[in-house]
Amino acid sequence: MSKALNGRVTLVTGASRGIGYAASLALAEAGSDIIALARTQGGLEALDDAIKEKGQSCTIVPMDLNQAEGIDRLGAIINERWGKLDGLLANAGMLGDITPIPHLEPKTWDKLVSVNLTANYRLIRSLDPLLRASDAGRALFLTSGVANSRRAYWGAYAATKAGLEALVQCYAKETEVTNLKVNLLNPGATRTAMRAKAMPGEDPQTLPNPSDIAPLIVKMLSPTYAETDQIISYRDTL
């Protein structure tokens, strides 16, 4: 892979496993330094070691995205150390329970809204000045096909992803005359722990690996990627 991201700094949420982990490695391999955010300290430390082996810097941030004030502090820390942010991969998400809407516990609903929707608003609010300070800021948010298919029993997850798409596409239109490009990516069914929880009877060997999705993420976070306000499906790129 070419060093398309030399000199760039990219923040990845949900970086300790799955798509976030694989994307962090691919972004580092392309030359970017990584700010890796996740709840799991052990996974972040393993990622840190792997990225440093590739000759790139990795700054780990063990944090729960429910900590809204922590997101605000993160923006201030990035500004103090780097003065800009070249890329944001907003990958972290929560599945919740696959259940009829009347059976969904209020605390589960509140947490889904907090992680899948509110945290992304807080990231935009905190990081927007830093992304604009880059000569080619790129922000990429992960969504899901259920945002539009709206399958039975997926109501809470579908609602938060639909809300995320609306939020991000409004933000993309607000930044369309700047150097910042804002997009969404639907990776589709992928061999992750979240997918295994949602579809326990599914053969994971039939699904793409997170590492299969990673090159598309690198492309969409590269300074040469000129599209904005798009929802890209990984399956449509094959």
Active site residues: 157
Rounded Cα gap, residues 157 and 143, in angstroms = 10
Distance CA 101, CA 105 (A): 9
Residue with tokens 């993309």: 172
| Nearest to 182, CA basis, from 119, 139, 233 | 139
228: tokens are 């904005």
Question: Which residue matches tokens 């599914």?
Answer: 202
**Cβ atoms of 26 and 211 closer than 8 Å:** yes
Judge contact between 190 and 213, C-beta under 8 A.
Answer: yes
